[in-house]
Amino acid sequence: MNSRRSLAAAMAVSAALIIVFFSPSLAQAQTSNSDASHQGQIYGNVQTANEAAFNQLRLDDVTIVVRRVKSGRTGRIVGFSAVKDGKYAIEMGSLPAGKYVVMVDPGASSYKQGERLVEYPGPQGSKRQNWTISTDQNAIPSLE
């Protein structure tokens, strides 16, 4: 009987320690908007509305552009990335946290443009912005 109580007590202590040590890191991982592999970047996926193979090939003409927002107005271009294999990543370097406009530039493709105001967390974080693009309507940003 004593060994059962000892075992139960040891299991309770172990469970408590696991909760104490791992709960903060789990909560942080769920609330973080940063992906370590994309630190210092604005990045995401670009897909076509119907994801047909032919349409995916035409994504090579699309560029994602980032502009800084200053005094409530769209400022200069601070970065850009071609879309390759449905993905893009823009290195933000040492640019500070703040508001930036992420824009879809369709280039020579037949896709429509689009833009979204995002809050970039600064060089120690990252911001993911996915897009769905179409030839019929403006690019649609995901609402992550």
Whether the full predicted model's pTM is greater than 0.85, yes or no, is no
Q: Are 112 and 135 in contact (CB under 8 A)?
A: yes
Instruction: Out of 3.40.50.10310, 1.10.3720.10, 2.60.40.1120, 3.10.20.30, select the CATH number for domain 37-141.
Output: 2.60.40.1120
- Give me the torsion for CA of 34, 37, 42, 47, rounded to 10°: -110
Domain positions in the chain are 1-31, 37-141
pLDDT tens-digit readout, 38-95:
999 999 999 988 765 555 557 889 999 999 999 999 999 999 999 998 999 999 999 9
- 134 three-class SS: coil
pLDDT at 66: 98
Integer Cα distance of 6 and 29 in angstroms: 34
Integer Cα distance of 55 and 76 in angstroms: 30
Only one residue has tokens 């005094």, namely 71
pLDDT at 51: 61
- Of 128, 127, 58, nearest to 86 (Cα)? 58
pLDDT tens-digit readout, 98-111:
999 999 999 988 89
